[in-house]
Amino acid sequence: MQLSTIAGVITAACLLLSSQSLLASDTKPGVTIYATGGTIAGKAESDTATTGYKAGAIGVQDLVSAVPAIANVATVQSEQIANTASGNINQAILLKLSKAINQQLKNPDTHGAVVTHGTDTLEETAFFLDLTVKSDKPVVVVGAMRPATAISADGPMNLLEAVTLAASPRADKRGVMVLLNDRIGSAFYTTKTNATALDTFKANEQGYLGAFYAGKPYFFYQPALPENKPSFDVSDKTTLPKVDILYSYQDQDSDFLSTAIEHGAKGIVIAGSGNGATSSGVKEEIRKAMAKGIPVVLSTRTGNGYVTAKTKEDGIGSGVYNPQKARILLSLALADGDNMEKIRSYFEE
C-alpha cells in the first residue's frame, strides 16, 4: 500500500472515531415522563388565579413543549397515564404507573422516570412507587402549587429540575424522590405540610436529600436508603385490598371501626391523637378487630413523630409512617398475603 493511501485510511478512521465520540457525547440520557394531571397541568380563568382552577387540563406534550430547555438535559419520551386532580388517583392508576415504570427502567437507554402529579396526594403515589419500583435508577415525582396559567407558575422550573434530576447519575440508588421548589426529598418520608404555600413538601425530622443550585442537583450525602424499607412486587397484582383511615377525636362514636369493616375494609389505619391514642371505646373495637385477624395500625394525627409499638391485642404502632403512608404499606402487605406478625414487623421494627 502506498504511503498516501495509508494516510488516507488513517484520516478516514480518525474522522469516523471523532464523529462517533461526538455522537456519544451529544446523546442525552433517556428520561420518560408519565403525566397524571394535577395543578402542574392546571388551567385557570386568569393569570392571577392560584385557586379555583381546573387541575389536569393540559396534556403532557404541551407541558414538555412549554419547557424547551428540557431538550438540553435529556432525551425525553412521555406517556399520559391520567389527567386528573390527584384526589382521583386510585389503585388502578398506581398499579399501571408502577408496572410501566418498572418495565421502562429495564431499558438500557432509559436513565430515569418522572411522574407529574397533583400535589394533594402526591406523597401517596411517590411512596407507593418507592415500595414497588425495583431499580437503582432515579424516579422523580413532581407537581406544582400554581396552575400552568398563573404568573410565576412554579411548574415549568419544577419539571425542568425533575427531568434534570432523573437524568443525573448522582440521583441513582436513592429511592423515589419528590421534587418541588428546588428541594429534593425522599418519597419515603416527605409529606405535604401546607395547603397553599410553595414550600409545602417536607420531612420535618429527616430533612431533604438535596437541593438544586444554579440548575444542578446537589446531594447532601452519599446515596442511602431508609432503615427497614420494605419492597413489594406488584407485577401480577390487578387490585389491592381496601384499607380505611379513621381519624381520632373527642366524643367519638366507637362503632366507626366496625362500620368500616362491614363496608369491606381488610385493614384499618387510625390517625390517632398523640402516640396513636384513641378513646377507651375505640380501643375495645380495635381489640375485637385484631382478634378477628384484621390488622389495625395506630398512626398519629400530629403530623410528626414515631408511633411506638403496641401490645399484640391493642393494634400495631405505625412507627415512622403517617396515616396515608401507613394505608399504602398495609394494603401492599395484605396484597402479599402477609400474616399479622410479618405486617407488624414492617411498622414496629
Interacting residues with ligand DAS (CB under 6 A): 38-39, 55, 85-86, 118-120, 143, 145
CA pair distance 1, 248, nearest whole angstrom: 90
Q: Which three cell numbers stand for residue 184?
A: 429534593
Enumerate the β-bridge partners of residue 113.
32, 139
DSSP of 194-253 = -SS-SS-EE-TTT--SEEEETTEEEESSS----TT------TT-S----EEEEE--TT--
Calculate the CA 145 to chain-centre distance: 16
Task: In angstroms, give the least distance from the CB of 85 to ligand DAS.
Answer: 4
Query: Is 85 in a helix, a strand, or coil?
Result: coil
Task: In angstroms, give the least distance from the CB of 114 to ligand DAS.
Answer: 15
* Cell 420531612 sits on residue: 203
Q: Which residue is nearest to ligand DAS (CB)?
A: 118
Nearer to ligand DAS, 55 or 257 (CB): 55
Nearer to ligand DAS, 145 or 171 (CB): 145
Is residue 39 part of the annotated active site? The answer reads yes
Helices (H), the chain: 3-26, 60-65, 91-104, 122-132, 155-167, 256-262, 280-291, 323-335, 340-348
Burial class (CB in 10 A: 0-12, 13-18, 19+), 220: exposed
Task: In angstroms, give the least distance from the CB of 39 to ligand DAS.
Answer: 3
Task: In angstroms, give the least distance from the CB of 126 to ligand DAS.
Answer: 13
Say if residues 35 and 78 touch (Cβ distance below 8 Å).
yes
Nearer to ligand DAS, 120 or 336 (CB): 120
Q: Which of 32, 36, 39, 278 is catalytic?
A: 39
CA pair distance 84, 81, nearest whole angstrom: 10
Task: In angstroms, give the least distance from the CB of 55 to ligand DAS.
Answer: 3
Say if residues 326 and 270 touch (Cβ distance below 8 Å).
no
Nearer to ligand DAS, 86 or 102 (CB): 86
Nearer to ligand DAS, 110 or 125 (CB): 125
Nearer to ligand DAS, 119 or 248 (CB): 119
For 98, phi then psi, to 5°, come to -60, -45
Task: In angstroms, give the least distance from the CB of 200 to ligand DAS.
Answer: 9
Active site members? 39
